[in-house]
Amino acid sequence: MVTLVLPRLVSFEGAGRRSASVAERNVAALKSAYWVVLISGFFEPLLYLLSIGVGVGGLVGDLTLPSGQVVEYAAFVAPAMLASAAMSGALSETTFNFFGKMKFMKLYDGVLATPVRPFEIALGELAWAMVRGSLYSAAFLVVMYALDLTTGLRALAAFPAAVLVGFAFGALGMALSTFMRGWQDFDIVGSAQFALFLFSGTFVPAESYPSVLRWVIELTPLYRAVDLLRGISTGSLGASGWLDLVYLLAVIAIGLAIASRRMAKLLCK
């Protein structure tokens, strides 16, 4: 029994160590200018929250959630901005940056000359993307708590969910990047990201849309992320939270599988 289990445990330990080395390489390559990009990415959803959530919210008043709970408009918008911040941080690292390192810098060609495998590269890059997404999420939750848009306990509960959201979009972005042929293709990614931002129950409930459009919206990953984080931060999490969780976990598994297979095909040919 020991001889059957031990090699597998050693293999998992080695894979984790090699993935961590890929993430550590990104930390070592940090430059001072990167922090400007990092900080600027946080302010975009914050400005949306202040201008629309707080500003327009003064005109809209309160909203009634599907659970029957009544919340102020800013508290309705804030979880969506949190999900958007997690999405943007993860996608920034796993689309443009990841594609540049793979396609033009040829960084991973050299990495594959070591014992690191394509799946471990994907996992390591995704772990690094989660550092950025987690920073955005933590800072945004502090702002939500400071503006009295959620409680401290709910903010703590929402943080791992926000990390999961970033993980899902990071895996999705990495998988999409392996199909990109050039920088122009990322215009499509940007347009899709903006469409998700506008039509994922971000500023109005999904129930406000026509039934056909509503079902399309509810199938999108950002809507599932918004629904999960809104339920946690407002205390209205229901049975749909389990659907959101399973959906995001499935996106992570599928995204990682596609990214690692595509990388193996592109880099090992």
pLDDT digits (tens, 9 = 90+) for 75-124: 999 999 999 888 888 888 788 777 777 777 777 776 767 777 777 777 77
Give the number of other Cβ atoms within 10 Å of residue 108's Cβ.
21
Confidence of residue 24 (pLDDT cuts 50, 70, 90): low
Distance CA 30, CA 204 (A): 39
User: Does position 10 have pLDDT exceeding 50, yes or no?
Assistant: no
Residues 6+ apart with CB under 8 A from 94: 125, 126, 129, 169, 170, 171, 173, 174, 177
The whole-number pLDDT of residue 236 equals: 84
The whole-number pLDDT of residue 25 equals: 63
∠ Cα 87 78 230 (to 5°): 80
- For the chain, the average pLDDT equals 80
AA identity, residue 126: L
Distance CA 173, CA 82 (A): 18
Structure tokens at 53: 């959530």
Across 26-30, 59-63, 236-240, 258-262, least confident range? 26-30
Confidence of residue 268 (pLDDT cuts 50, 70, 90): low
The whole-number pLDDT of residue 161 equals: 94
User: Does position 37 have pLDDT exceeding 60, yes or no?
Assistant: no
Supply φ then ψ for residue 181, to 5 degrees. Answer: -95, -25
Report which DSSP code applies to 210: -
Distance CA 79, CA 122 (A): 28
Q: What is the separation, in whole angstroms, between the first and last Cα of the chain?
A: 38
Confidence of residue 231 (pLDDT cuts 50, 70, 90): very high
The whole-number pLDDT of residue 243 equals: 94
The whole-number pLDDT of residue 189 equals: 83
Confidence of residue 8 (pLDDT cuts 50, 70, 90): very low
Residues 6+ apart with CB under 8 A from 254: 171, 175
Distance CA 118, CA 143 (A): 38
User: Does position 35 have pLDDT exceeding 70, yes or no?
Assistant: no
Instruction: Kindly list the domain boundaries of the chain, sorted by start residue.
Output: 37-268
The residue written with tokens 């302010």 in the block is 43
Distance CA 102, CA 50 (A): 38
Report which DSSP code applies to 71: E
Structure tokens at 77: 């918008």
pLDDT digits (tens, 9 = 90+) for 132-186: 778 888 888 988 998 899 999 999 999 999 999 998 998 898 888 888 888 788 7
User: Does position 13 have pLDDT exceeding 60, yes or no?
Assistant: no
> Backbone dihedral region of 117: left (phi > 0), alpha (psi from -120 to 50 degrees) or beta?
beta
Long-range residue pairs from 99-104, CB within 8 A, at least 24 positions apart, any chain: 99/177, 99/180, 99/183, 99/186, 102/177, 102/178, 102/263, 102/266, 102/267, 103/180
CB-count burial class (<10 Å; 0-12, 13-18, 19+) for 113: exposed
Q: Do residues 165 and 173 make contact, with C-beta atoms less than 8 angstroms apart? A: no
User: Does position 2 have pLDDT exceeding 60, yes or no?
Assistant: no
